[in-house]
Amino acid sequence: MNWAGIVDALGYPSAGLGILIESAGIPFPGDALLLVAGAWAATRHHSVLVVILFGFVGATAGADIGYLLGYRGGRPFVERFGHLFRIRPDHLARAELFFARHGDKAIIAARFLLGLRTWSAMLAGMARMPFWRFQLFSALGGLVWAAVIGIAGYWLGNNLALLESIARGIGIGGLTVLLLIALVLVAARERASRQR
């Protein structure tokens, strides 16, 4: 998919579009679109704060839609359409139990986990998490997520020349190794913070 073309056509609203779709329960790479929107803002000398604002609004509105679908449609809705996304009833039962116990933390953490980001709001609605509580943690997670991804995209957009020269210097294999090391470091940091 041509993310840059979508961002060029829609401008700032593209920052919130992908995550709105994804948070409503439809698998879609919302973070990729926000990342590209951040880079777009950097290369066009636009405001990264507006990109973050649209990402936050899209994340929050999409999550509200997902919550409503889970709350109103509940388990029958997901059981009916879950097979399309390979969700089995036993997965659903475990997810509902998990959300009943750890809903607050799960809503925030889900913003950063591919797959869970798509279904977390719907599962919170199915678990009958109080809406005000869901809204609070959803908005907090959405703001942090939009800021992190938006700023990362903006930084990438401002440093494209540097990144291209590094990629040429170390080659694709070296770049892949660097990305894997970065992912391992991020995962280790998350694991350590969870253990604390």
Residue pLDDT, tens place only, 87-127:
677 777 777 777 777 778 888 888 887 777 777 888 888 88
Give pLDDT, residue 161: 62
Give pLDDT, residue 13: 82
C-alpha 131/C-alpha 125 separation (Å) is 8
How far from chain centre, in Å, is Cα 57? Answer: 13
Model confidence at 3, in pLDDT bands (50, 70, 90)? Answer: low
Residue with tokens 């294999």: 173
Query: What φ, ψ does residue 193 adopt, rounded to 5°?
Result: -70, -35
Is residue 82 within 8 A of residue 27, CB to CB? The reply is: no
Distances (CA, A) of 78 to 62, 64, 71, 88, 98: 17, 16, 11, 9, 16
Sign of CA dihedral 19, 31, 145, 26: positive
Q: Which of 1-5, 8-12, 61-65, 76-80 has the highest mean pLDDT?
A: 61-65
Q: What is the pTM of this model?
A: 0.72
Please list the alpha-helical segments (H only) found in 82-115: 89-110
Is the per-residue pLDDT at 85 higher than 70?
no
Is residue 150 within 8 A of residue 55, CB to CB? The reply is: yes
Residue with tokens 């798509």: 118
Give pLDDT, residue 174: 62
pLDDT, tens digit, 9 for 90 and up, residues 124-179? 888 888 899 999 999 999 999 999 988 888 888 877 666 556 555 655 566 566 66
Radius of gyration of the chain (CA): 18
Least confident of 6-20, 59-73, 149-163, 167-181: 167-181
Percent of the chain predicted with pLDDT > 90: 17
Distances (CA, A) of 118 to 18, 21, 115, 149: 11, 9, 5, 16
C-alpha 57/C-alpha 23 separation (Å) is 11
Structure tokens at 7: 């961002």
Is residue 54 within 8 A of residue 94, CB to CB? The reply is: no
Q: Which one has a higher pLDDT value, 56 or 77?
A: 56
What type of residue sits at position 157? G
Percent of the chain predicted with pLDDT > 70: 80
